[in-house]
Chain A
């Protein structure tokens, strides 16, 4: 790599990291948090004894998983204005990503809840708990442990998927790289630099994941 290439890469690092800090990371965090709330609600609906409630959740999850994220993003940002609903880029991205995480994580959470042995429900009822209390105090803490690895996968995918937000004008990591690339015509260099930054973010997340798993594993035999 030539000296001028180094200089360009170094000077692009500023805006790219800015994009990560102001766009990619908060976008991923906010969408993931909202998505998890939605996912828990959908998982509980799926497990409900009320068939219509379960059916609504099933259809919702099916649509979310069966349509491309990019299309969902475009429907919200470019499609809704034709119905008179104009949403800014950032909230549009948050809505689309939250819904997407909700659809995928719902099945993870449902499976995790089902993985807790029936005897745990029965012991909770035996000591007098209601369904709600049994769920929050006994079942979900155990389901959380099981769901950390698959939910980490969902989160890491989400971090990378936020690059799609560049297509609806959100200032984030990849859009910043694109801008510098268009200006300098050094596409290979800047896209590789963007890829590297994504990778570093995901490495950090993997470390967080294994720490979290260790923490939640303290009550399990090894």
Chain B
């Protein structure tokens, strides 16, 4: 990222830049995230059977599906919070992003491509999981802000303490981000003093400040009071329009239809159906997708 970029600019590949919602499948070369054969069991329970996913740079993938279907586990594997039992995850950094290029000490692959192979003997090393985390940032369902740190400290923790970037520079960037999401007057507040919607916006700013390649949202509005959902969804939509690459686990179908470039329906640890949002939501091919949508749209 060049110094002239504003803090909210996503890392870009200069030549290819598919717009969200344009309906075209990204070229393989533009894939930012590529997941192949991802498997995961908890004890004897198989949570992920074999997940294949590709997300192009600047595109938004929404994962929908019943609870317990494995969609959150997919997200947690992408961020290295769960260690998959098999399969590979590849995240390719933008060529134009020297920070990301320098942040990949571990992992195989050439240049800015990082591949973690979970099937390798002995599993991936901690270093590889750390490298995976360097490239993505997660927004949690329950915010998980650090309660003993102020709003500003929450945002600075990663960039300053872990990434060791200059504090003055990061602070300016963090303040710009907080102002942008309407929290300029809350920088010195502690999380308990904020509403759920405000806390989640801090969670999003904390993720953005890490300058990730990929943003991961785990049901970002599920813990919010209904009247606070709108602000957070609007912010996520803005980020999508700006070209951030995102994977969003959500139950908000209307939001998914509007923001996502593609939707994957996950059930029983598999991707049952994957495609254009309108097609998946309006004209699902699979019976299971139809049943799920029917239940969600007709709860009574």
Contact = CB atoms under 8 A, between A and B. Distances in A.
Contacts of A117: 144
Interface in B136-151: 137-138, 140, 142, 144-149
Interface in A106-145: 117, 119-120, 122-130, 133, 137-138, 141-142, 145
Nearest to B157: A127
B196 interface: no
A117 B147 CA distance: 11
A219 B148 contact: yes
Nearest to B161: A137
Q: Bin chain A's interface residue count.
A: 20 to 34
A126 B81 contact: yes
B142 A219 contact: no
Interface string B50-64: 000000000000000
Contacts of A126: 79, 81, 133, 137-138, 140, 144, 207
A120 B144 contact: yes
Interface in B183-234: 190-192, 206-207, 210
A221 interface: yes
Interface string B124-166: 0000001001100110101011111100000001100111000
Nearest to B162: A128
Which range contains the number of B residues in contact with the other chain? Answer: 20 to 34
A129 to B, nearest CB: 6
A125 B133 contact: yes
A59 interface: no
Nearest to B189: A219
A219 B190 CA distance: 6
B162 A119 contact: no
A120 to B, nearest CB: 6
B162 A123 contact: no
Contacts of A145: 148
A128 B78 CA distance: 14
Contact of A127 (B148, B191, B192, B210): B210
A119 B144 CA distance: 6
B80 A125 contact: yes
Contacts, number: 62
Contact of B157 (A130, A137, A218, A219): A137
Nearest to B163: A128
Given A126-B133, A142-B148, A218-B190, A119 B163 contact: no
A189 B262 CA distance: 85
Nearest to B79: A126
Contacts of B192: 219-221
A120 B138 CA distance: 13
A99 B119 CA distance: 46
Contacts of A128: 130, 133-134, 158, 162-163, 210
Nearest to A144: B148
Residue among A125, A128, A130, A137 with max Cβ neighbours from chain B (10 Å): A128
Interface string A196-222: 000000000000000000000011110
A125 B207 CA distance: 12
A127 B146 CA distance: 11
Contacts of A119: 140, 142, 144
Nearest to A141: B148
Interface string A133-160: 1000110011001000000000000000
A124 B163 CA distance: 13
Nearest to A117: B144
Contacts of B137: 126-127
Contact of A123 (B80, B144, B148, B161): B144
Contact of B161 (A129, A218, A221): A129
Contact of A125 (B81, B146, B161, B191): B81
A16 B192 CA distance: 48
Q: In the complex, which of the residues A127, A138, A145 has the most CB atoms of chain B within 10 Å of its own CB atom?
A: A127
A104 B62 CA distance: 50
A47 B188 CA distance: 34
Contacts of B190: 218-219
Interface string B74-101: 0000011100000000000000000000
Interface of B: 79-81, 130, 133-134, 137-138, 140, 142, 144-149, 157-158, 161-163, 190-192, 206-207, 210
9 contacts: A124-B146, A126-B137, A126-B138, A126-B207, A128-B163, A129-B161, A129-B162, A218-B190, A219-B192
Q: Which 4 A-B pairs have the closest CB atoms?
A: A127-B158, A128-B162, A123-B144, A119-B144
Given A119-B142, A127-B157, A219-B148, 5 more contacts: A122-B138, A123-B145, A128-B130, A128-B133, A221-B192
